[in-house]
Structure 1
Amino acid sequence: MARTTTVAGLSGTDRLVYGCDYNPEQWDPSVWHEDVRLMKEAGVNLVAVNIFGWAELEPEEGIFRFEHLDAVMDLLAENGIGVNLGTGTSSTPAWLTTAHPELLPRTADGTARWPGGRQAFCPSSPVYRDHALALVEQVSARYGSHPALRLWHVSNEIGCHNSLCYCDVSAEAFRGWLRDRYGTLDALNAAWGTAFWSQRYSAWDQVLPPRLTLSATNPTQTLDFNRFSSDELLAHYSAEEAALRRNSDAPVTTNFMVAAHIRNQDYWSWAPEMDVIANDHYLDHRLDTPHAELAFAADTTRGLAQGRPWLLMEHSTGAVNWQPRNIAKGPGEMLRNSLTHLARGADGLCFFQWRASLQGSEKFHSAMLPHAGTDSQIWRDVVELGSALGRLREIAGTTVHADVALVFSWEAWWAHDQESHPSGDVRYIEQVHAAYKALWDAGLTVDVVAPGADLSAYKLAVVPNLYLVRAEHAAVISDFVTNGGSVFVTFFSGIVDENERVVPGGYPGAFRDLLGIRSEEFFPLDPAHPLPLDNGSLASLWSEALRLTSAEAVLHYAGGHHAGTPAVTRNRVGAGEAWYSATVLDGGVLTDLLLRAAVTAGVQVPEAQSGLETVTRRGNGHEYVFLINHSAEDRKYRVSGLELLTSEASADVVTVPAGAVRVVRTTPGIPDTDGPDQGRKDAGNVSH
């Protein structure tokens, strides 16, 4: 892997990357020169090309036509614009699915999903893979040393629509994966607990994916199918990557989808295979505070990059086209969203897409060049952002420092949200977002890390709803506390091991001794009937009757049939302390408790103001303080230095107008402790 690749280097001049998806096949060649002229006006220096180009490049099986892509690649090279070149394999052409309908994916009820959209293929299909790799060989051989090439882009948003396929080909591949994992049927039967409901297997061909049943499915079977499906998609990525490397030295990646509604790839296992960590993110207006989820996604992507700068490969200038209500961005919102990603470690900002499509299902998705053309606010915002990135170019290569870690797990998400659990109202990602939002409200910068990641560089670790945890990963958290760290664990954590087997002896299982508590039973709450707490706030969705073994109570239930029992506890262990919340707390209460835990742990707590997001990047002997004002009022922040967007010096306080962003380079003297080779804190890449 070419892990020395820098994101800024993709621009060709070590500038911050500014780019987009470019789909010239949707336009007459007469438009291409105008596109390139406007790209240069906006400051674009990297474009993703050939993302959905399979049918254009191979209109018939084995017949390849490269004339148009040749012309586009040459035109971009002549104008100094780099290319993030797609392999073109993300959507099958009609001739392939017509000739080989057996490669179409099937859902859990056995129904085929037909062509006409995108990703109409089974990830395990050898027919799909053979044809895809033949295309990759052709593309990489032709463009592997092209002067415009900066980065290879394998497929696109891998697994966005077809991550789980239940067809017979997938079933056979799943059995092969299980043989590699367990070795014997006896081991599989033990791991899956098949003594329950007479599910024992006596031959491998009896084992199937978790297809739709009349009752609840085996939870470990379902969990392993999620693991297999993530690994199967990664295996295809690796096959394309190998084909690319035979013909090219350019770095290789694909675009992750770290977002609230995407959960089917375990990116902790994918990240080590990428030369550059790249993510797609779109503001989700189905959430209460979309910009806080944006910050969480950016911090998670930085965790996947092990603290190094990363690339935002897609976001939007305005509305998307796939939410129930696709809301355009308000004044200043595009700049705020973009610079939030930059603040949290991105060294490149790219959009989907360059020119708004006139046809197809994404014709109402916003673009850098909208249907209204250059006489539009979006275009003016695009040019403004390009200019801003020019003024911020010195930030490239700097990194983000955090004293707080938040433990996040895709496989815990898979296990947590299965059926037959105590409450269908409690969803993993919602509780993760709640914990993150409380930290965000407190103004605390957070590194998102994998279970088992080294926590020694942190002062506080937050562990929300980590339902599934391996014993060795729980031990990392216990050792962290014993050695002086603080941890804040929320309910329904530590309940099962990696095989979905309940940790016996009472809840919260793997964390019971660390937290100094014991619970025998859960008491989910009706969302309409919360319980009062003794501080006057309300507890919702969840409760449990805790017994203290070594912990002390911080808050108690003040109503219900276990009134007077602890709702929040704290346990002193070794040189550190372990907090536990046995319910869903009001956001303000959770923020206050996390602040209390942070201060006790020695975290330097910044000045927090409602609606003002503050993040700091370090490097080049400076600190760069990003001040992002999401409120409708001006905010003042105490910091001295040069504001880079306005070129105004500040001796004490910077005013951030309503809805605006300010970036302050502090006076020299900050130690340059972070750099591209640090890879600090081993935030991810924990083996499963």
Structure 2
Amino acid sequence: MKREPRELNVPGIAYGGDYNPEQWPEEVWAEDVRLMREAGVNMVSVGIFSWALLEPAEGEYDFARMDRILDMLYSHGIAADLATPTAAPPAWFFKAHPEALPVDKDGRTLSYGSRQTFCPSSPAYREAALRMTRTLADRYAEHPAVVMWHVHNEYGCHNGECYCDESAAAFRVWLRTKYDNDLAALNDAWGTTFWSQWYYDWDEIIPPRATGAVPNPTHQLDWRRFSSDALLSLLKAEREVLLEAAPSIPATTNFMVMHNFDKLDYWRWAPELDIVSNDHYLQSTDPESQIDVALSGDVVRSLAGGAPWLLMEHSTGAVNWQPVNRAKTAGELRRNALSHVAHGADGIAYFQWRAAKAGAEQWHSAMLPHAGTDSQIWRDVVRLGADLRSLSEVRGSRGVAEVAITWDWDAWWALELPSQPSEKLRFQDLIRSWYEPLWRAGVPVDFVRPDADLSRYKLVLAPSLYLVDDESAANLTAFAANGGSLAVGFHSGAVDENCHIRLGGYPGAFRETLGVRTDELFPLLPGESVTLSGGGTATLWSERVALAGAETVESYTSGPLAGVPAVTRHAHGSGTAWYVATRPDPTTLASLLDRIRAEAGVKSVRETPAGVEAVLRRGPDADFLFLINHGGVEADVEVAADASELLTGKNIDGGAVRIAPGEVAVVREPR
């Protein structure tokens, strides 16, 4: 049974970052807390990588430093998000338990000397981690500084999959549970008659290690599911220890809903947390990274069931782990942070408080940079603290959306397995291509599991749902039949939950709903494009679609499929189902989605000039309209006549607010 969530006892919007005072002489600590107060910091995460200092030898503990840190924070009015330090076991642990080291797909045992250098299925690691967690929790459960537990850190960031013998044994146990100890059922699900892969004994099954040809797709898919669950079992075990020691303190762990992190099925993880948290970092190569900020925030808010969430890590400037690590431009720090708040965050935190002078992340930006307080980053950090204090009323308010986009980790994993019709298909790219026009138009979006309750939405988009089980397909079909508008992207519905192709023509599970049937796929080569009847172009994908009740909206006008439908519309029940059988250019796709949402009766939260992002959070007595000017020119936006602007504290005269280039306005509109 799901527990009632515990709330974070921090006033207003939480603000801070990872604090690692153990990296500095103790005389620096006083300056740290003084500057934290100056910046408006009210909560910091501590102890994330402190296992080696807290337990210098097995069973021997030294909490003197942590005692002083927590006492100091409390005396200065700064709350602590206290971490279990289990993401970085000490060297002594691996000397005693070398079998706990992870093994990669090629059979190489990886060494300790960084972080997350453990096998998630290692009994020795689990025992040591829970012992450390229990000892920490018992000591600090009643410390007045501790307002939240930070379980582990970025689960699966570096050890999302381990291929050792311990993992193989755990995988077999997981499979026995999934298939009710029925080996014939596993063989059927995996299609093991292909390439003589039939298993006669559970002990014959191993992880999908490096092999000479393409591994079995369902084997790989079940492995991804198992690997996510193996780490989830560690979270649940630590969470239960913390709950026993401190029943009233909420717990979180930092997700990584960001570019190309696909290791964990967060739909399964989120219900285990009192507060959903996320880490998000910009990609230096993304020319419009503000779109990824928004998309990520909407996914995390959706994982939280629409409730506010916490941003546990992002950067004030450059990171250190990309090929080229660019600094943020003027105003970008502030815009990024307030965009996260706009999309549901009730807390903003950075990695880290003070920039490190040594170690693997010494070139990672921080709230207090290497240059100290005489720096633009510090001035921006102080300004942001003041901004967040002025937004305290926003806390607890929620987003509003009439549009949902399906997001499914099984479908993501399956789509990007080897031997697809095109290796260029990327789940996140396809999702973003549909999300972006809605973002530009100021249309709020929720993300949903395909089997979720869809009754509150007018429009559901499934840009990429390659894998879908029967229940989810029926759920989406019923949504359209009952009056909703459904739009489906190419190569969706193709396989079932076991990665078996749905026979009879594509798009498989959605043929009848969409009123089309495809008999052959024609993926396009890199650089290749085809023209469309509406005047646009399309790339990446095409297919030979035949109408089976649907009408043609766009057709191909060049290439081998000239004259064949590329976009279709079908009346299904009392609703409408659209099929987009290619990847239209951005302008064409935006126009198409405008038409689809107009027919569905979906409107923008506010009409804004190009370059101005509009996001709405709804409180019990007022709406909070965030207007973020990503463009280079001044912009005016109409608002309610009795509105006020929270960041300046001024009433708005004339029913319009003006936002300078690169600036942000947060408008309170009473209801």
TM (norm. structure 2) is 0.98
Match of residue 643 from structure 1 = 645
Secondary structure at the aligned position of 1:384 is classed as helix
1:472 aligns with 2:474: no
Match of residue 6 from structure 2 = 5
Match of residue 433 from structure 1 = 432
1:551, 1:593 → 2: CA distance?
16
Match of residue 281 from structure 2 = 282
1:658-673 counterparts in 2 under 5 A? 658-666=661-669, 668=670, 670=671
CA offsets 1:70-127 (integer angstroms, 9 cap, x no match): 0001111111111100011111111111221111101111011111111000000001
2:306, 2:433 → 1: CA distance?
23
How far apart are residue 635 of structure 1 and its match? 1.4
Match of residue 401 from structure 2 = 402
CA offsets 1:541-592 (integer angstroms, 9 cap, x no match): 1000100001101001000111011111111112211111111111111111
Counterpart amino acid of residue 181 in structure 1: K
State which of 164, 167, 171 in structure 2 corresponds to 1:167: 164
Contact map agreement 2:294 2:340 (CA 8 A) in 1? yes
CA offsets 1:231-284 (integer angstroms, 9 cap, x no match): 010000111111112211211111101111210100000011001001011112
Match of residue 673 from structure 1 = none
Contact map agreement 1:441 1:608 (CA 8 A) in 2? no
Counterpart amino acid of residue 644 in structure 2: L
Match of residue 615 from structure 2 = 615
CA offsets 1:312-367 (integer angstroms, 9 cap, x no match): 11111111111111111111111110011100111111111000000011111110
1:226-237 counterparts in 2 under 5 A? 226-237=224-235
CA offsets 1:132-181 (integer angstroms, 9 cap, x no match): 11111110010011000100011100110001000000000000000000
1:289, 1:489 → 2: CA distance?
25
Contact map agreement 2:5 2:250 (CA 8 A) in 1? no
Bigger drift between 605-614 and 335-344 goes to: 605-614
How far apart are residue 608 of structure 1 and its match? 4.2
Match of residue 546 from structure 1 = 545
1:153 aligns with 2:150: yes
Counterpart amino acid of residue 309 in structure 1: P
1:512, 1:636 → 2: CA distance?
46
Counterpart amino acid of residue 198 in structure 2: R
1:207, 1:608 → 2: CA distance?
57
Secondary structure at the aligned position of 2:486 is classed as strand
1:294 aligns with 2:297: no
1:321, 1:624 → 2: CA distance?
35
Match of residue 180 from structure 1 = 177
Contact map agreement 2:612 2:630 (CA 8 A) in 1? yes
Match of residue 583 from structure 1 = 582
Contact map agreement 1:494 1:509 (CA 8 A) in 2? yes
Match of residue 657 from structure 1 = 660
Runs of 4+ in 1 over 3 A off after TM superposition: 1-4
2:172, 2:538 → 1: CA distance?
45
State which of 21, 45, 59 in structure 1 corresponds to 2:18: 21
Q: Which runs of 5+ in 2 are unaligned?
A: none
Counterpart amino acid of residue 452 in structure 1: D
2:541, 2:623 → 1: CA distance?
42
1:558, 1:498 → 2: CA distance?
36
Percentage of pairs with the same residue:
51
How far apart are residue 636 of structure 1 and its match? 1.3
Bigger drift between 656-665 and 609-618 goes to: 609-618
State which of 73, 77, 99 in structure 2 corresponds to 1:76: 73
1:34 aligns with 2:6: no
Match of residue 686 from structure 1 = none
CA separation of 1:4/1:204 partners in 2, compared to 1, >3 Å: closer, same or farther? closer
Counterpart amino acid of residue 626 in structure 2: F
How far apart are residue 2 of structure 1 and its match? 5.2
Contact map agreement 1:442 1:591 (CA 8 A) in 2? no
Q: Which runs of 5+ in 1 are unaligned?
A: 671-688
1:512, 1:439 → 2: CA distance?
26
Contact map agreement 2:608 2:637 (CA 8 A) in 1? no
Match of residue 379 from structure 2 = 380
Counterpart amino acid of residue 483 in structure 2: G
1:46 aligns with 2:47: no
Secondary structure at the aligned position of 2:429 is classed as helix
Match of residue 240 from structure 2 = 242
Contact map agreement 2:5 2:273 (CA 8 A) in 1? no
Bigger drift between 296-305 and 429-438 goes to: 429-438
State which of 86, 89, 107 in structure 2 corresponds to 1:110: 107
1:359 aligns with 2:358: yes
2:224, 2:609 → 1: CA distance?
41
1:562, 1:388 → 2: CA distance?
55
Count of residue correspondences: 664
Counterpart amino acid of residue 373 in structure 1: G
CA separation of 1:280/1:3 partners in 2, compared to 1, >3 Å: closer, same or farther? farther
2:306, 2:374 → 1: CA distance?
40
CA offsets 1:211-236 (integer angstroms, 9 cap, x no match): 01100000000000000000010000
1:4, 1:178 → 2: CA distance?
31
1:297, 1:348 → 2: CA distance?
15
CA separation of 1:365/1:656 partners in 2, compared to 1, >3 Å: closer, same or farther? same
2:307, 2:130 → 1: CA distance?
31
1:317 aligns with 2:319: no
1:4, 1:65 → 2: CA distance?
32
Secondary structure at the aligned position of 1:520 is classed as strand
Bigger drift between 650-659 and 406-415 goes to: 650-659
How far apart are residue 189 of structure 1 and its match? 0.2
How far apart are residue 527 of structure 1 and its match? 2.2
1:425-464 counterparts in 2 under 5 A? 425-464=424-463
Secondary structure at the aligned position of 2:546 is classed as strand
CA offsets 1:444-498 (integer angstroms, 9 cap, x no match): 1100111211111010111011000011101111111111110111101000010
Secondary structure at the aligned position of 1:10 is classed as coil
Match of residue 189 from structure 1 = 187
How far apart are residue 67 of structure 1 and its match? 0.6
Counterpart amino acid of residue 646 in structure 1: T
1:612, 1:588 → 2: CA distance?
18
Bigger drift between 283-292 and 164-173 goes to: 283-292
1:514, 1:10 → 2: CA distance?
48
Counterpart amino acid of residue 142 in structure 2: S
Match of residue 66 from structure 1 = 63
Secondary structure at the aligned position of 2:349 is classed as strand
2:608, 2:570 → 1: CA distance?
28
TM (norm. structure 1) is 0.95
Contact map agreement 2:530 2:539 (CA 8 A) in 1? yes
Secondary structure at the aligned position of 2:9 is classed as helix
2:403, 2:329 → 1: CA distance?
32
Counterpart amino acid of residue 646 in structure 2: L
1:32, 1:348 → 2: CA distance?
23
1:3, 1:75 → 2: CA distance?
31
2:47, 2:479 → 1: CA distance?
47
How far apart are residue 524 of structure 1 and its match? 0.7
Secondary structure at the aligned position of 1:237 is classed as helix
Match of residue 210 from structure 1 = 208
Counterpart amino acid of residue 198 in structure 1: S
CA offsets 1:411-447 (integer angstroms, 9 cap, x no match): 1111000001100111111111111112212221100
Counterpart amino acid of residue 537 in structure 2: L
CA separation of 1:115/1:4 partners in 2, compared to 1, >3 Å: closer, same or farther? closer
Counterpart amino acid of residue 372 in structure 1: A
